[in-house]
Structure 1
Amino acid sequence: MKLQFYKKGIPTEILKRLAILLVVFVVSVVFFEVVTNISEPQEVLAQASPTLPTVTIDYLGDATTELHGYVTEMDPAYMRDAIIPLDSKRNVSITVDSKDYDVDGLSYEIRSLDTQRNISNNQLEFTSEDGLLKASFQAENLIEKNEEYLLILTITSGDQEIYYYTRIMQPEGCNEEEILDFAQYFHNTALSEDASDLATYIEPSSSASEDLNHVTINSNLAQISYGGFDGTQVGDVNTAITDISSNYISLTFTYLLNRDNSGKSEYYTCVEDFRIRYTSDRLYLLSYDRTMEQILDDQSVSYSQNVLNIGITDPDLQYMSNETGTIVSFVQNGSLYEYNQTDRTLKQIFSFVDDPTDSRSIYNQHQILLLNIDESGTMDYVVYGYMNSGSHEGECGINLYHYDAIEDTSSEQVFITSTSSYQILNANFSELLYETADNQFYIMVNGTLLYMNLNELTTKELMTGLDDAQYAVSASRRYLAWMDQEDMSDSIHIMDLETGNSYDITASKGQLLKPLAFLDDDLIYGTLNENDITIDGAGSTVYPMYKLTIADISSGSGRELMTYQKKGYYITDVSIESYTIYLDRIQIDSEGIITTADGDTIKNSAGEQNKAVDVSTISDDAKEQVVVLTMAELEEDEKLGKVDYDVPGLVLADGSHSISVASATSSTQYFVYVGSKVSLATDDLNRAITEADENMGIVLDNTPKYVWKRGRKSYQNAITGIAVGSSDSEASGSARALSAMLVQAGENVQVHTLLESGETPISVLSKTLKDYDILDLTGLSLSQVLYYVNLGTPVYAYTGDDTAVLIVGYDASSIIYFDPMTSQNQKMSLTEASDYFESFGNVFVSYIQ
Structure 2
Amino acid sequence: MKLQFYKKGIPTEILKRVGILVVVFVVSVVFFEIVTNISEPQEVTAQSSPTLPTVTIDYLGDATTELHGYVAEMDPAYMRDAIIPLDSERNVSITVDSKDYDVDGLSYEIRSLDTQRNISNNELEFTSKDGILTASFQAENLIEKNEEYLLILTITSGDDEIYYYTRIMQPEGCNEEEILDFAQYFHNTALSEDATDLATYIEPSSSASEDLNHVTINSNLAQISYGGFDGTQVGDVNTALTDISSNYISLTFTYLLNRDNSGKSEYYTCVEEFRIRYTSDRLYLLSYDRTMEQILDDQSVSYSKNVLNIGITDPDLQYMSNETGTIVSFVQNGSLYEYNQTDRTLKQIFSFVDDPTDSRSIYDQHQILLLNIDESGTMDYVVYGYMNSGSHEGECGINLYHYDAIEDTSTEQVFITSTSSYQILNANFSELLYETADNQFYIMVNGTLLYMNLNELTTKELMTGLDDAQYAVSASRRYLAWMDQEDMSDSIHIMDLETGDSYDITAGTGQLLKPLAFLDDDLIYGTLNENDITTDGAGSTVYPMYKLTIADISSGSGRELMTYQKSGYYITDVSIESYTIYLERIQIDSEGIITAADGDTIKNSAGEQNKAVDVSTISDDAKEQVVVLTMAELEEDEKLGKVDYDVPGLVLADGSHSISVASATSSTQYFVYVGSKVSLATDDLNRAITEADENMGIVLDNTPKYVWKRGRKSYQNAITGIAVGSSDSEASGSARALSAMLVQAGENVQVHTLLESGETPISVLSKTLKDYDILDLTGLSLSQVLYYVNLGTPVYAYTGDDTAVLIVGYDASSIIYFDPMTSQNQKMSLTEASDYFESFGNVFVSYIQ
TM-score over 0.5 for the alignment? Answer: yes
TM-superposed CA distance for 1:4, in Å, is: 46
Tell me the SS of whatever aligns to 2:255: strand
Question: In the superposition, relative to structure 1, how do residues 8 and 615 fare at CA in structure 2: closer, same or farther (>3 Å)?
Answer: farther
Deviations, residues 718-758 of structure 1 (Å, cap 9, x unaligned): 00000000000000000000000000000000000000000
Deviations, residues 575-601 of structure 1 (Å, cap 9, x unaligned): 000000000000000100000011100
Deviations, residues 378-404 of structure 1 (Å, cap 9, x unaligned): 000000000000000000000000000
Question: In the superposition, relative to structure 1, how do residues 304 and 13 fare at CA in structure 2: closer, same or farther (>3 Å)?
Answer: farther
TM-superposed CA distance for 1:499, in Å, is: 0.3
Provide the C-alpha distance between the structure 2 equivalents of 1:530 and 1:277, rounded to a whole number of angstroms.
Answer: 50
Provide the C-alpha distance between the structure 1 equivalents of 2:15 and 2:390, rounded to a whole number of angstroms.
Answer: 57
TM-superposed CA distance for 1:650, in Å, is: 0.1
Provide the C-alpha distance between the structure 2 equivalents of 1:665 and 1:348, rounded to a whole number of angstroms.
Answer: 38
Provide the C-alpha distance between the structure 2 equivalents of 1:28 and 1:228, rounded to a whole number of angstroms.
Answer: 71
Provide the C-alpha distance between the structure 2 equivalents of 1:231 and 1:3, rounded to a whole number of angstroms.
Answer: 109
Deviations, residues 12-56 of structure 1 (Å, cap 9, x unaligned): 999999999999999999966983357744100000000000000
Provide the C-alpha distance between the structure 2 equivalents of 1:130 and 1:208, rounded to a whole number of angstroms.
Answer: 49
Provide the C-alpha distance between the structure 2 equivalents of 1:349 and 1:704, rounded to a whole number of angstroms.
Answer: 38
Provide the C-alpha distance between the structure 1 equivalents of 2:13 and 2:811, rounded to a whole number of angstroms.
Answer: 106
Tell me the SS of whatever aligns to 1:163: strand
Deviations, residues 409-454 of structure 1 (Å, cap 9, x unaligned): 0000000000000000000000000000000000000000000000
Question: In the superposition, relative to structure 1, how do residues 719 and 14 fare at CA in structure 2: closer, same or farther (>3 Å)?
Answer: farther
Provide the C-alpha distance between the structure 2 equivalents of 1:741 and 1:208, rounded to a whole number of angstroms.
Answer: 46
Question: In the superposition, relative to structure 1, how do residues 100 and 512 fare at CA in structure 2: closer, same or farther (>3 Å)?
Answer: same
Question: In the superposition, relative to structure 1, how do residues 727 and 622 fare at CA in structure 2: closer, same or farther (>3 Å)?
Answer: same
Match of 1:168 in 2: 168
Deviations, residues 160-202 of structure 1 (Å, cap 9, x unaligned): 0000000000000000000000000000000000000000000
Deviations, residues 461-514 of structure 1 (Å, cap 9, x unaligned): 000000000000000000000000000000000000000000000000000000
Provide the C-alpha distance between the structure 1 equivalents of 2:654 and 2:21, rounded to a whole number of angstroms.
Answer: 40
Match of 1:517 in 2: 517
Deviations, residues 783-830 of structure 1 (Å, cap 9, x unaligned): 000000000000000000000000000000000000000000000000
Provide the C-alpha distance between the structure 2 equivalents of 1:26 and 1:796, rounded to a whole number of angstroms.
Answer: 85
Provide the C-alpha distance between the structure 1 equivalents of 2:62 and 2:511, rounded to a whole number of angstroms.
Answer: 64
Deviations, residues 746-793 of structure 1 (Å, cap 9, x unaligned): 000000000000000000000000000000000000000000000000
Question: In the superposition, relative to structure 1, how do residues 13 and 440 fare at CA in structure 2: closer, same or farther (>3 Å)?
Answer: farther
Question: In the superposition, relative to structure 1, how do residues 502 and 28 fare at CA in structure 2: closer, same or farther (>3 Å)?
Answer: farther
Question: In the superposition, relative to structure 1, how do residues 202 and 326 fare at CA in structure 2: closer, same or farther (>3 Å)?
Answer: same
TM-superposed CA distance for 1:7, in Å, is: 49
Match of 1:640 in 2: 640
Provide the C-alpha distance between the structure 2 equivalents of 1:319 and 1:21, rounded to a whole number of angstroms.
Answer: 58
Question: In the superposition, relative to structure 1, how do residues 22 and 693 fare at CA in structure 2: closer, same or farther (>3 Å)?
Answer: farther
Provide the C-alpha distance between the structure 1 equivalents of 2:44 and 2:399, rounded to a whole number of angstroms.
Answer: 17
TM-superposed CA distance for 1:132, in Å, is: 0.3
Unaligned 5+ runs, structure 2: none
Deviations, residues 100-159 of structure 1 (Å, cap 9, x unaligned): 000000000000000000000000000000100000000000000000000000000000
Provide the C-alpha distance between the structure 2 equivalents of 1:513 and 1:455, rounded to a whole number of angstroms.
Answer: 37
Deviations, residues 637-668 of structure 1 (Å, cap 9, x unaligned): 00000000000000000000000000011210
Question: In the superposition, relative to structure 1, how do residues 666 and 11 fare at CA in structure 2: closer, same or farther (>3 Å)?
Answer: same
TM-superposed CA distance for 1:521, in Å, is: 0.3
Deviations, residues 504-534 of structure 1 (Å, cap 9, x unaligned): 0000000000000000000000000000000
Question: In the superposition, relative to structure 1, how do residues 363 and 18 fare at CA in structure 2: closer, same or farther (>3 Å)?
Answer: farther
Deviations, residues 604-651 of structure 1 (Å, cap 9, x unaligned): 011000000000000000000000000000000000000000000000
Please list, as runs of the form range in 1=range in 2, the aligned pairs for 1:351-362 lying within 5 A after superposition.
351-362=351-362
Deviations, residues 186-236 of structure 1 (Å, cap 9, x unaligned): 000000000000000000000000000000000000000000000000000
Tell me the SS of whatever aligns to 1:141: coil
Question: In the superposition, relative to structure 1, how do residues 630 and 844 fare at CA in structure 2: closer, same or farther (>3 Å)?
Answer: same
Tell me if 1:697 matches 2:697.
yes
Question: In the superposition, relative to structure 1, how do residues 830 and 103 fare at CA in structure 2: closer, same or farther (>3 Å)?
Answer: same
TM-score by length of 1: 0.97
Match of 2:345 in 1: 345
Match of 1:238 in 2: 238
Question: In the superposition, relative to structure 1, how do residues 135 and 7 fare at CA in structure 2: closer, same or farther (>3 Å)?
Answer: closer
Match of 2:726 in 1: 726
Question: In the superposition, relative to structure 1, how do residues 124 and 32 fare at CA in structure 2: closer, same or farther (>3 Å)?
Answer: same
Question: In the superposition, relative to structure 1, how do residues 70 and 4 fare at CA in structure 2: closer, same or farther (>3 Å)?
Answer: same
TM-superposed CA distance for 1:258, in Å, is: 0.1
Provide the C-alpha distance between the structure 2 equivalents of 1:598 and 1:234, rounded to a whole number of angstroms.
Answer: 51
Deviations, residues 555-589 of structure 1 (Å, cap 9, x unaligned): 00000000000000000000000000000000000
TM-superposed CA distance for 1:332, in Å, is: 0.1
Provide the C-alpha distance between the structure 2 equivalents of 1:533 and 1:607, rounded to a whole number of angstroms.
Answer: 35
Question: In the superposition, relative to structure 1, how do residues 778 and 14 fare at CA in structure 2: closer, same or farther (>3 Å)?
Answer: farther
Question: In the superposition, relative to structure 1, how do residues 104 and 17 fare at CA in structure 2: closer, same or farther (>3 Å)?
Answer: closer
Question: In the superposition, relative to structure 1, how do residues 296 and 21 fare at CA in structure 2: closer, same or farther (>3 Å)?
Answer: farther
Question: In the superposition, relative to structure 1, how do residues 29 and 333 fare at CA in structure 2: closer, same or farther (>3 Å)?
Answer: farther
Question: In the superposition, relative to structure 1, how do residues 131 and 512 fare at CA in structure 2: closer, same or farther (>3 Å)?
Answer: same
Question: In the superposition, relative to structure 1, how do residues 347 and 26 fare at CA in structure 2: closer, same or farther (>3 Å)?
Answer: farther
Question: In the superposition, relative to structure 1, how do residues 17 and 114 fare at CA in structure 2: closer, same or farther (>3 Å)?
Answer: same
Question: In the superposition, relative to structure 1, how do residues 590 and 260 fare at CA in structure 2: closer, same or farther (>3 Å)?
Answer: same
Provide the C-alpha distance between the structure 2 equivalents of 1:21 and 1:606, rounded to a whole number of angstroms.
Answer: 69
Provide the C-alpha distance between the structure 2 equivalents of 1:249 and 1:23, rounded to a whole number of angstroms.
Answer: 81
Tell me the SS of whatever aligns to 1:45: coil
Provide the C-alpha distance between the structure 1 equivalents of 2:433 and 2:17, rounded to a whole number of angstroms.
Answer: 51
Provide the C-alpha distance between the structure 2 equivalents of 1:71 and 1:779, rounded to a whole number of angstroms.
Answer: 44
Deviations, residues 346-373 of structure 1 (Å, cap 9, x unaligned): 0000000000000000000000000000
Provide the C-alpha distance between the structure 2 equivalents of 1:6 and 1:804, rounded to a whole number of angstroms.
Answer: 118
Match of 1:496 in 2: 496
Provide the C-alpha distance between the structure 1 equivalents of 2:686 and 2:639, rounded to a whole number of angstroms.
Answer: 57
Question: In the superposition, relative to structure 1, how do residues 5 and 811 fare at CA in structure 2: closer, same or farther (>3 Å)?
Answer: farther
Match of 2:688 in 1: 688
Deviations, residues 266-310 of structure 1 (Å, cap 9, x unaligned): 000000000000000000000000000000000000000000000
TM-superposed CA distance for 1:10, in Å, is: 43
Provide the C-alpha distance between the structure 1 equivalents of 2:525 and 2:22, rounded to a whole number of angstroms.
Answer: 59
Match of 1:544 in 2: 544
Match of 1:385 in 2: 385
Provide the C-alpha distance between the structure 1 equivalents of 2:618 and 2:193, rounded to a whole number of angstroms.
Answer: 25
Provide the C-alpha distance between the structure 2 equivalents of 1:774 and 1:591, rounded to a whole number of angstroms.
Answer: 26
Question: In the superposition, relative to structure 1, how do residues 353 and 222 fare at CA in structure 2: closer, same or farther (>3 Å)?
Answer: same
Provide the C-alpha distance between the structure 2 equivalents of 1:415 and 1:404, rounded to a whole number of angstroms.
Answer: 18
Provide the C-alpha distance between the structure 2 equivalents of 1:260 and 1:652, rounded to a whole number of angstroms.
Answer: 36
Count of matched residue positions in the alignment of Structure 1 and Structure 2: 849
Question: In the superposition, relative to structure 1, how do residues 239 and 519 fare at CA in structure 2: closer, same or farther (>3 Å)?
Answer: same
Question: In the superposition, relative to structure 1, how do residues 19 and 571 fare at CA in structure 2: closer, same or farther (>3 Å)?
Answer: farther
Provide the C-alpha distance between the structure 1 equivalents of 2:497 and 2:799, rounded to a whole number of angstroms.
Answer: 49
Match of 2:124 in 1: 124
Question: In the superposition, relative to structure 1, how do residues 312 and 23 fare at CA in structure 2: closer, same or farther (>3 Å)?
Answer: farther
Tell me the SS of whatever aligns to 2:311: coil
Provide the C-alpha distance between the structure 1 equivalents of 2:608 and 2:726, rounded to a whole number of angstroms.
Answer: 65
Q: Which moved more, 1:13-22 or 1:217-226?
A: 13-22
Question: In the superposition, relative to structure 1, how do residues 3 and 275 fare at CA in structure 2: closer, same or farther (>3 Å)?
Answer: farther
Match of 1:792 in 2: 792
